[in-house]
Structure 1
Amino acid sequence: MSEQNIKEKNSALEWIKPILIAIGIVLIIRMFLFEPYLVRGESMNPTLEDGERLFVNKTVKFIGEIEKGDIIIIDGENERYVKRVLGLPGDTLQAKNGILFINKKEVNEPYLKENEKDAAEAGQLLTDDFGPVEVPENEIFVMGDNRTNSLDSRNGLGLINKKRIIGKSEFVFFPFNEVGKTE
């Protein structure tokens, strides 16, 4: 092998190592830390809209706790769902006359104001009556913010086992005019 060929081979190896390391780091980050997610559907409108892209914090599965009000991504049989956590193990949820109660206390949900107005104009309640539903150990109760158009714990998804939680929504990164923390 000539000296020129050896230099070319070493040069190629110098490029391949950092590329492989970078790919490895990206895979580790995506598998264990953060993952992009594309919102599909209208169940979380107006908080999250169809087509928005957000980052999901996957560390919550390992080192964090899910709290009421968190927006999470759930692994379904054929698709993933984005929903808001409303009930934790031991909670009892019920809706009466459009008002959500957790453990017999009325819940203030300021993120629903726009949807409540739209439902009232349509002559309907945003949150139909349900319950009481008691949340067992290792399960959570979720609903979409667009309650009139959401498949959730009330009507099809049922209670969600904590093992099905992929992660917690942290912030929207696209479209750029919507960039910001999800709440």
Structure 2
Amino acid sequence: MSAASASGDPSAKHTKRRPRFVGWRFVLCALAAAVILAALVRAFLFDVFYIPSDSMQPLLEPGDRILVSRTAYDTEQIQRGDVVVFDGRGSLAPLHSGRPAVADAAVTVGRWLGLAGSDTVYVKRVLGVAGDHVSCCSDGDPRITVNGTPVDESYVYPGDTPSDSAFDVVVPDGRLWLLGDHRSVSADSRSLLGAPGGGLISTERVIGRAERILWPLERGTSIDRLSLGAEWNTEK
């Protein structure tokens, strides 16, 4: 037995424990790097959103997690038929939640982890882009028309009518007309008729395009881009 061991030299014990401490430090640094990388990816490339409601059935079910491309519209235009995620503050949601800051932080963490939805972020389908004349339910015709042409909406929730309220709008530059697929329960552009902005959502509020259902695994599938009259000429 060495003199250092026999005397209970604390420096010897410290030397023995150092590798374990270094190992934990490495693990913590690796975890921190992974979190930072994930945050950067989700902030600039792709994000994951939790679906809290049934407003986009049958395409999206409550509890689904969807992958959203934040760069989808960096090189192309938003098209009719796209399913987009957008910040609804100032339109479908109040600018301020009214909750304490701690509660807001908890909601943000839950949304980031994919465990909860957001009360300011929405997912809807684009029915009208800049220059489009979108209307419904006039002259006894129950269909939605874009620039005078009826839209084939076989994707709408079975049994729903195209809209339970009439509307007739022309979409200005920088705005979108958005509807949920489950029309009878969806709060969308129709909910803001008569309000400032008239239900037209700013393109600057669009976070990205929904690309795929990630969870549950048995529902995992890509979210197709529907071509809703991409060939139609817009009215001037």
CA displacement at 1:107 relative to structure 2: 1.1
User: Contact 1:172–1:178 at 8 Å: present in 2 too?
Assistant: yes
Uncovered stretches (5+) of structure 2, i.e. residues with no partner: 1-10, 94-118, 194-198, 225-236
Task: Please state whether the residue corresponding to 1:60 is helix, strand or coil.
Answer: coil
Q: 1:48 aligns with which of 39, 60, 63?
A: 60
Instruction: Report the number of matched residues.
Output: 175
Which residue matches 1:149? 185
The structure number with the bigger radius of gyration is: 2
Q: Taking structure 1 as reference, are residues 40 and 20 closer, same or farther at Cα in structure 2, changes over 3 Å only?
A: closer
Structure-2-length-normalised TM-score: 0.65
CA displacement at 1:144 relative to structure 2: 0.5
CA displacement at 1:13 relative to structure 2: 5.9
Q: 1:58 aligns with which of 44, 54, 70?
A: 70
Alpha-carbon separation, structure 2, partners of 1:145 and 1:99: 14
Alpha-carbon separation, structure 1, partners of 2:80 and 2:47: 22
Q: How does 1:129-144 map to 2 (within 5 A)?
A: 130-144=166-180
Task: Please state whether the residue corresponding to 1:23 is helix, strand or coil.
Answer: helix
Alpha-carbon separation, structure 2, partners of 1:145 and 1:58: 22
Q: Which moved more, 1:137-146 or 1:168-177?
A: 168-177
Task: Please state whether the residue corresponding to 2:62 is helix, strand or coil.
Answer: coil
User: Contact 1:61–1:166 at 8 Å: present in 2 too?
Assistant: no
Alpha-carbon separation, structure 2, partners of 1:64 and 1:32: 17
Q: 1:172 aligns with which of 210, 213, 226?
A: 213
Alpha-carbon separation, structure 2, partners of 1:93 and 1:131: 8
User: Contact 2:174–2:202 at 8 Å: present in 1 too?
Assistant: yes
Q: Taking structure 1 as reference, are residues 6 and 76 closer, same or farther at Cα in structure 2, changes over 3 Å only?
A: same
User: Contact 1:35–1:55 at 8 Å: present in 2 too?
Assistant: yes
Q: 1:89 aligns with which of 101, 118, 130?
A: 130
1:67 and 2:79 matched: yes
Amino acid at match of 1:103: N
Q: Taking structure 1 as reference, are residues 17 and 104 closer, same or farther at Cα in structure 2, changes over 3 Å only?
A: same
Q: 1:26 aligns with which of 6, 22, 38?
A: 38
Alpha-carbon separation, structure 1, partners of 2:52 and 2:188: 14
Alpha-carbon separation, structure 2, partners of 1:88 and 1:151: 19
Uncovered stretches (5+) of structure 1, i.e. residues with no partner: 120-124
User: Contact 2:165–2:190 at 8 Å: present in 1 too?
Assistant: no
Calculate the aligned-residue CA RMSD, in Å.
Answer: 2.4
CA displacement at 1:154 relative to structure 2: 1.5
Task: Please state whether the residue corresponding to 2:125 is helix, strand or coil.
Answer: strand
Which residue matches 1:122? none
Structure-1-length-normalised TM-score: 0.82
Q: What is the aligned-residue identity percentage? A: 30
Which residue matches 2:151? 107
1:36 and 2:48 matched: yes
